Amino acid sequence: MVTLPRTPRMRIGLVLAGASLLAAACGSSGSSGQSSGSGAAGQTVPTAHLPVLKTIGKGEGQLNLIAWEGYLNPIWVKPFEQQTGCQVNAKYAGSSDEMVSLMRNGGGGQYDMVSSSGDADLRILYAGDARPVNISLIPSWKDFFPAFKSPPFNTINGVHYGVSLQWGPNVLMYSQKAFPSAPASWSVIYSPKYKGQVTVPDNPIQIADAALYLKTHNPALKITDPYELTQPQFQGAVRLLAAQRPLIEKYWALASQEIFDFKNGNATVGAGWPYQVSALKANHFPIGATIPSEGATGWADTWMLAAKAPHPNCAYMWMRYISTPKVQAEQAVNYGETPDNMLACGYMNQLQKGSCDQYHANAPTSYFDSIALWKTPIATCDNGKPDCVPYAQWVAAWNTQVK
């Protein structure tokens, strides 16, 4: 596997964020059997009618993937390369905004796929940067839990634009040196007591975490969905995060940065992913993680196919491979997340005893309901009223009022 050079994390402005509001016309080519790409709030997926592969042909020898750090571990990448002859070239992104940027213009004819999360999916789709996928070429898809077969974050009007991968929570991480027992509330990351010891993601979607906290602690705001916020609700969350700013040791962009800060004692508490927890435990650092009483946000990721993917056969081979239960189990155990394939549970326990229960792979429906999964904030709320704050304003507030 080759890792493409990393670029400094880009601060994405309003023009890019505005992709979440794009309502472009459908493309003209494609099979006549596909339905239109009409989706949320009447928006249209411009690539809805692009043709899909009917069969997987000979691999092109290369596969360029945009991924979250930790998603392209040699444990499962090397066997894929050996089986297919497709060399994986990895470009790690530090945020969903960076993924959206890299996928612009259909991946620019450079990138084949992206491991997109729910706060980026609709921006990528409505910008016309992903193309439909023939799910019948992914045999293991039939073994996915129902919630992840055709979820609204990667399937619009019956058209698939990728294959679901894994999902999991954004957890409260804490150094067990500083916290002998798990904190019961997210309040610790907003407490002056821990000034200079707090770390959170450098990501506008963090506003949803503040909103989820306020849903419990400021009921007068009447927050029901942390991604559907009216202006008063939104400003309440932004104010909370602005007040948090003096407490922050670092807004982290890459998982490795948060791992470094905990390991070196720069941070003692913060928001992170199970991946950082697993990595710190592997280094024998006394790290703890919990989902506090207010609940947690989370992600559900998709390998989404770029509209201008240069290596489509290798891309389909990757989707087919990464969906199999053994490989799903390997990623789940290594990263600390929940697989979408129902058959992965047994493999997980073979790799790490008790991991199926630990990551709730045997009861995803109930656990799924306890996590507020990322989704792209748009102006039209689910109730049809146009009074929600769109993602462009989330980006603007994060860059000008929070940080």
Give the model confidence (pLDDT) of 308-341 as tens digits. 999 999 999 999 999 999 999 999 999 889 999 9
Radius of gyration of the chain (CA): 20
Alpha carbon separation from 163 to 86, 110, 313, 377 (Å, rounded): 19, 20, 15, 22
Q: Looking at the DSSP assignment, which residues form a beta bridge with residue 271? A: 172
Question: How many other C-beta atoms are found inside a 10 Å radius of the C-beta of residue 385?
Answer: 11
Report whether 327 contacts 339 (CB < 8 A). no
Buried b / exposed e along 262-276 (16+ C-beta atoms within 10 A): bbeeebbbbbbbbbb
CA separation for the pair 68, 72 (Å, rounded): 8
Torsion sign (Cα): 331, 335, 340, 345: positive
Give the model confidence (pLDDT) of 256-303 as tens digits. 999 999 999 999 999 998 889 988 998 999 999 999 999 999 989 999
Q: Looking at the DSSP assignment, which residues form a beta bridge with residue 162? A: 304
Closest CA to 16 of 110, 129, 92: 129
Give the model confidence (pLDDT) of 358-391 as tens digits. 888 987 777 777 789 888 898 988 788 899 999 9
The residue to which tokens 């507020």 are assigned? 372
Report whether 63 contacts 90 (CB < 8 A). no
pTM: 0.76
Q: What is the pLDDT of residue 34?
A: 34
- State the helix-helix crossing angle for 344-351 and 325-335, rounded to 10 degrees: 50
Closest CA to 257 of 281, 238, 245, 275: 275
Strand segments (E) across 18-121: 62-68, 87-93, 113-116
Q: Name residues of the chain where pLDDT drops below 50.
A: 4-38
- For residue 277 the two structure tokens come to 């927890």
The residue to which tokens 């921006």 are assigned? 123
Consecutive H or E run containing 291: none
Q: What is the pLDDT of residue 368?
A: 76
